[in-house]
Structure 1
């Protein structure tokens, strides 16, 4: 049997959401017996013809329905787009109805993360918008608790709804120590929940 994994699924345009995903993956892999699986989604365009290769030239590979179906937990990330998730990620989620119909994601832990160019550019509304489809799938939504000191120390991103990053108008801000710490804490928390729920399911099934 393959080792359980947390799917870290993101869309990134300028690299900051991807950087967050990699720190979240490090947090996941702090938990013994859990792997992190990094996946992304392709951009969408006005034409409906496939115009990109099936595997990207660099970075994470594109997510498949099976990647999502078989995960032990999910952490979903997107840059802010007018207070909402980016269209490519929404497009991917809109195609997950078959998983919803079969209840494939019920009782699996999930969290969300985001980045924005302005400090008050809609981070929290974006995080909440990403939580909605996960709740419809019956997932167990988990944020970041306040025993994580970074929530009270951050001068950039970081919310109880999920990790966030303030990238700056020209994408000039690197992730701060507090933002990195919160990313890793979120990944570790989802991994611990995923491990516990997977073991519980094995006992009760």
Structure 2
């Protein structure tokens, strides 16, 4: 690796390499050697920027979770526009892209990684899913205040139900399923979202 490359460039190169390994081979194949080989750099590059491999993985997960902040801002900006169910379905579909699904699997797969993340973050839940649930809860609260869903809606519980259902729909799909007709997956998400939100959407009209 050429000298003088900024630390953020090295981190990003390693993160992208780790995501490729995860997508192609799964969490069991993710080792420091696999990451540096995929990135085309010497093994020492990873340890130059991270104390150990689990520290690297923790930062990989945090980096992915941080991206949800950008999605959350866009989702909350859509409050009052379009349909509530449609906005949520789009957000859930975007959230559970193959990399996010693979990273959730990684957190579940590695006990040490999960413990390290909980030592510096919430002591419950799974990173990425926890942030995603907060994102949906905030959006649904906004829509409740706008009168587009029932004023007494339990937005936190609705968000948990939506994230749990979304994860079940996408779990194990680390690559797009070419055997399914185009749009089928989006339709599945739409049906689930409509079912979860049906009561609060109907009650706001009463």
**TM-score, length of structure 1 as denominator length:** 0.30
* Higher percent of residues as strand: 1
**TM-score, length of structure 2 as denominator length:** 0.30
* Higher percent of residues as helix: 2
